[in-house]
Structure 1
Amino acid sequence: MKQVLKALLSGGCIALTAGCATGKSESFTFTADLPPNFTYQAVAKYAPVKGETCTVKKPDVGYNQRWHLDYKERYKIDSEIPIYRTVEGCRLAIYRFELDIYGAYGKDRGDFGADSAMVIIREQLEEQYKGVFDAAGESAINGQCQWLFRTVGPKRYIRKLLDCKKIDDQGMVTKGRPVGAYTLDQLPGKTVKLKIKLANEEQPGWGDTWVKVPNGWKRCIGEGPEDQRGYCNGNYKDFSNFKMPDGRDCTIYPGCTE
């Protein structure tokens, strides 16, 4: 049990079997406190309660799906999540709430980055792994997302990747994704909030491609503009131009001009 939960809370992805509880169906509220131009998409995963032998073709429920097409009109921060459902006569219990976090950095449809987070629900958990609710019935899953920038194509357009990590109880950024864990009996009537802050600084997507200078980053030229990877390879004096997502021709990131 300990090894399984340690792997989970450090960012692993493990299928868990839901337990069983009697009584009427209940729900909890999922909400998110995200940076500007950030949204989430989620899927609540269900399995037959303990003791059931039935199967269901489509047991899961999606929230904020197809966000990139019309999320401004349809996107909802608060989602009411059933803990139990009965589908095709089969009693189901939630065992996982999978999240995709999206951040938009430009106006074009492809100008976004994404990463994942998760809420795990089990019938029983050791106390050290259980999320804690405050007097108002709210529990927070804290995390930090950071933009990682790179260039693509011969004109070296800036593209960004999103990297999201959990913040632990001591306020430290960990290696794992933002993950919270709760028991079925903790959730009725409660609120689980994903709280994501944005890192103050962006970083290159990988090493030896940009050089840090006093007022930003300069792009190594590599073997020339056609060199897609553009590694510095010891040349930290010759740099290339690049283009911002809005089309501006720049020499330094993120300020564009020196």
Structure 2
Amino acid sequence: MNKPIIHVLWLPLLGLPLLGLSLSACSSLAPLTGERFTLEGELPADFALKAQAHYDVANNCNGRSQARSFESDFQSTPQQYRFNIPVSYRDGLCEMRLGRVGLFIHGRYGDKDWQRTYDNGGLTLVETLPLGAPSFEADGTLTKQAECTWLFQLSKAHSRQGQISKLLSCKGAGAYLVADELPGKTVRLNFRENPEEEPSYDRRWIKTDAGWRPCQGTESSDRCQNPPAFKTFQMNGQECTVYPNCTE
């Protein structure tokens, strides 16, 4: 508890000091403790995760919304991540309450800077769960599985035109959480890498027994024509006809 602050006031008519006490409220200045939850899970090799927690002012304090970041970097082998995220905390006289957690799922498929990409997910705090949304188990855990799929395409960037580039699409990378139930709980969000890659656009590639073949487009469209005509592409310094095997 903060010590009382003693103010000395002068009464000009009497020329005497008047002592007054200004007691600060202990409950309004005391830091909140123990209000955290754990976000943990598994990441595939060459994946990284950033969780960005967004906080809003919960009292009449003249403060601003804030954000705190929690990160797990790339590793060449599968890894476990674990973030202890505050549900609330004090910033001076302001009581900050968690509003949502944004997730940035990063993946890399090569050693060059442009061979990295990401997809988004998130934890949404609500007063009541939407119909069908899972709730915490009796042991205080909520477990979900997210699946990330690589979407391949032919790059149109001038410096690497005709080479394979990829996007990342992660399904199930999030959850609804009841805000009042969150302190002390554990959200276990595991990420799985889909072994089957897919084209980033429909009707740009045709799947054969040997692999995916890119279509030769026309002046007005990049889509496969009927009958299709195929083209070659560059991958790892080689000229290829099918993906991912390169040659038939």
Scaled by the length of structure 2, the TM-score of the pair is 0.75
Is it true that 1:53 corresponds to 2:56 in the alignment?
A: no
Q: Which moved more, 1:145-154 or 1:103-112?
A: 145-154
Residue 207 of structure 1: how far off its partner (Å): 1.6
For the pair shown, the structure with the greater C-alpha radius of gyration is: 2
1:189-204 map, 5 Å: 189-204=184-199
Is it true that 1:232 corresponds to 2:238 in the alignment?
A: no
1:18-167 map, 5 Å: 24-49=33-58, 52-57=59-64, 59-64=66-71, 71=74, 77-122=81-126, 124-126=127-129, 128=131, 131-153=134-156, 155-166=161-172
Residue 32 of structure 1: how far off its partner (Å): 2.7
Residue 252 of structure 1: how far off its partner (Å): 0.6
Q: Flag structure 1 segments of 5+ consecutive residues without an equivalent.
A: 1-21, 167-177
Q: Flag structure 2 segments of 5+ consecutive residues without an equivalent.
A: 1-30
> How has the CA–CA distance of structure 1 residues 129 and 24 changed in structure 2, closer, same or farther, with 3 Å as cutoff?
farther
2:209 paired residue number: 214
Higher strand share: 2
Contact 1:118 1:180 in 2 (8 A): yes
2:242 paired residue number: 252
Residue 146 of structure 1: how far off its partner (Å): 1.1
> How has the CA–CA distance of structure 1 residues 60 and 200 changed in structure 2, closer, same or farther, with 3 Å as cutoff?
same
Q: Aligned residues: percent identity? A: 29
Contact 1:41 1:64 in 2 (8 A): yes
Q: For 1:143, what is the secondary structure of its paired residue?
A: strand
Take 1:91 and 1:62, find their aligned partners in 2: how far apart are those partners? 18
Q: For 1:182, what is the secondary structure of its paired residue?
A: strand
Number of matched pairs? 213
Letter in 2 for 1:256: C
Letter in 2 for 1:100: F
Residue 54 of structure 1: how far off its partner (Å): 2.2
Contact 2:42 2:80 in 1 (8 A): no
Q: For 2:98, what is the secondary structure of its paired residue?
A: strand
Residue 34 of structure 1: how far off its partner (Å): 2.2
Residue 251 of structure 1: how far off its partner (Å): 1.2
**Superposition RMSD in Å:** 2.8
Take 2:90 and 2:71, find their aligned partners in 1: how far apart are those partners? 22
Letter in 1 for 2:143: A
2:6 paired residue number: none
1:167-182 map, 5 Å: 178-182=173-177
> How has the CA–CA distance of structure 1 residues 136 and 229 changed in structure 2, closer, same or farther, with 3 Å as cutoff?
farther
Contact 1:219 1:239 in 2 (8 A): yes
Q: For 1:60, what is the secondary structure of its paired residue?
A: strand
Letter in 1 for 2:50: Q
Is it true that 1:242 corresponds to 2:233 in the alignment?
A: yes
**Per chain length, whose mean CA-contact separation is higher, i.e. which structure has more relative contact order (CA < 8 Å, sep 6+)?**
1
